[in-house]
A and B are shown apart, each in its own frame.
Chain A
Amino acid sequence: MAETKLMKGNEAMAEAAILAGCDAYFGYPITPQSEVLEYLAREMPKHGRVVMQAESEVASINMVYGAAGAGFRAMTSSSSPGISLMQEGISYLAGAELPCLIVNVNRAGPGLGTIQPGQGDYFQSTKGGGHGDYRLIVLAPSSVQEMADFVYLGFDLADKYRNPVLMLSDGAIGQMMEKVTFHPYTVPEKNKPWATVGKPETRERNYITSLFIQPERMEVHNQKLEAKFKQIRENEVRFEEINTDDAEYIFVAYGLSARICQKAMDLAREKGIKVGLFRPITLFPYPYQRLNELADKTKFMLSVELNSGQMVEDVRLGVNGKIPVEFFGRLGGMLPTPEDIVHQLETLMQHHGNR
């Protein structure tokens, strides 16, 4: 039977990692996600799994590389500055096509910033982050439940495509307590014939590399990666829609800002404003196509983010000029209230109505 508990997002994610058959976790403390390492340091050994506090995020991500290259389910988590430090390693993982799960409990930046929640890492998460041509599959949870669910999904997608998966959460979802149900999950049997486990006589040697010194071979590798990203774009788009059927206006928001927008939507509906919520769940691949369809029956969209306007660029790409796409956000770890968002919506309605 599925078990329901009251847990912090970070701890639910850690517990899900154990249930998802995560063989190894490597991490370095940073607020607001140190609970993950603390939880796993306590729990992983009970399950005979590997958990280690590394000397830095640079080391953690490279330990993940080693473990993933040997065919194990490996994961790390951190928050913004730590994720920045991992970018070289993430690029190597993507280049070498190693599956793994990376969790960013986003805090506000740049620099050391603040430990309060933010969404300023959207560009870094979705547009590459590290060097070279690659994409991560990016999952954006908006509840404690999804922080757990996306661990299973993340590992499965990582293995399916041999690509790192990033869960982009934030300091609020990671820290808040909610009910969470751990659904039954069967850890898939290991089938990684490419893993470096020691070369038996029966097969050629395996090697994990992102190095292709001849440009002709590098291009072939790049094309192979691109073909994979195309497949991911075609097959893995995920989103949630609430009240979009009759909506004249649509909030577009992910993660924590989607939670706030949901409340704002309810307030606006009470006032008779027909507004809906579109919540991208995968930030890569991004649901451009669906936004484009929705634009046909919507007056304008409002992208609400905890940054200075990053995802709004993708909303505009999706809508492709059909209707206005506006932006509203708070910065620095500050959160808009639902009333702020409704007020912004009403102001924009007037502005666009008067044109």
Chain B
Amino acid sequence: MASVAKEWREIPGRYNLRGTKCGSCGKVFFPSRSFCPVCRRESIGKVEDYKLDRHGEVYSFSVVHEAPESCSMLKPYAVVMVRNRDGVLLSGQMVDVDVDAIEIGMPVRAVLRKLDADGLAGVIHYGFKFTPDL
């Protein structure tokens, strides 16, 4: 059972694809990091918020048939790794698509969707999923 606070903390990343950019080397990170793991101390005070581009291409994918508890209602469902236009790799589910039609290189974009709910009266989790970018 996830708490409301836990859900709220992740809103910038999960809802808006907010990451960070290192002002020292220019590398973009998602989810956000308080300092750059490459530049370390050099990057302190130079890390900026960065809104990631929602568009990208499928880098790899899988159709999940054996799902964990939280996703058992969805199965089978597709997960993808996406290389976005910032060059950043992202992972998430892919929806609004015939799972047999997914292929590497397919153009996709991130949209906000319901992820799952903590029972009937629980917190509903929202976050990004990918759809075909037609």
Question: Do A and B interact?
Answer: no
Chain A residues in contact with chain B, CB under 8 A? Answer: none
